[in-house]
Structure 1
Amino acid sequence: MVAFVHPPAETLQLSHVLTALSDPVRLNIVQVLAGADCGLNCTASTAPFGNVPKSTLSHHFRVLRESGLVETTKRGVENINTLRWDDLERRFPGLLPQILASASAKAPD
């Protein structure tokens, strides 16, 4: 069984979080997870990324996990991904909602 690495909340670093979110695919994954009521498995959360190879998606989820943005837990044969809202809010108040709001804002016509 794979043991997932999740950094403790108090060790999260702003540079790691921002670097993880700087990639458009990872930002999109976070946006999808943010809109979910509960955790999603990799297939459900990556459905909009059907053209991204599975190995590349695995890399993106690892980067999100290691930066502290996402927590992955095993549920049967599925890997369930959830955002670490509470940990991120305690460490960097208002950061993730602001980034998601900015990313979702439409460009002026």
Structure 2
Amino acid sequence: MSTSPPSAAPPDPVTPDRTLEHPPTEDIRLAEVLHALSDPMRLTVVRRLAGERGEMSCSDVPLPVSKSTSTHHFRVLREAGVISQVYRGTSKMNTLRSADLERLFPGLLDRVLAAADAQAERLGQG
């Protein structure tokens, strides 16, 4: 009786591959970045990440929207190339792709963040 080697187990449907797709730096487009930054909720996320200068979980950036809407905003930022997301345990950790954006669009992120800060101060939203 011949035995064949066991076949590879199918992926576990409960714990699917937790690798998130990110655009390579050379595929990041200005229009997509500007679109991602044009939404107040997404701009709030970017401002918070810029102020942290490190990884933050999605729950560390409270937004006044539902969890599914918050997830959507983070996905738009990731797919535009503005943030990077990785899973650490059960948390999705986020960082700004500052170096990539600076290389592609020098000064853009700094100017957008400065304008957002000035607007928040002007509107008393500090």
- The TM-score with structure 1 as length reference comes to 0.91
Off by >4 Å, runs of 4+ in structure 1: none
Aligned to 1:83: 96
Q: What percent of counterpart residues are identical?
A: 49
Q: Which runs of 5+ in 1 are unaligned?
A: none
Rounded Cα–Cα distance in structure 1 between residues aligned with 2:34 and 2:100? 15
* Contact map agreement 2:19 2:87 (CA 8 A) in 1: no
Report the alpha carbon displacement of residue 62 of structure 1 after superposing the two structures with TM.
0.4
1:61 aligned partner: 74
> 1:2 maps to what in 2?
18
How far did 1:76 drift?
A: 1.4
Which structure is richer in relative contact order (CA contacts within 8 A, separation 6 or more)?
1
Which of 25, 33, 52 aligns to 1:17? It is 33
Count of matched residue positions in the alignment of Structure 1 and Structure 2: 106
Secondary structure at 2:103 match in 1: helix
| Equivalent runs, 1:31-46 vs 2, <5 Å | 31-44=47-60, 46=61
Which structure has the greater CA radius of gyration?
A: 2
1:35 counterpart SS class: helix
TM-score between the two structures when normalised by the length of structure 2: 0.79
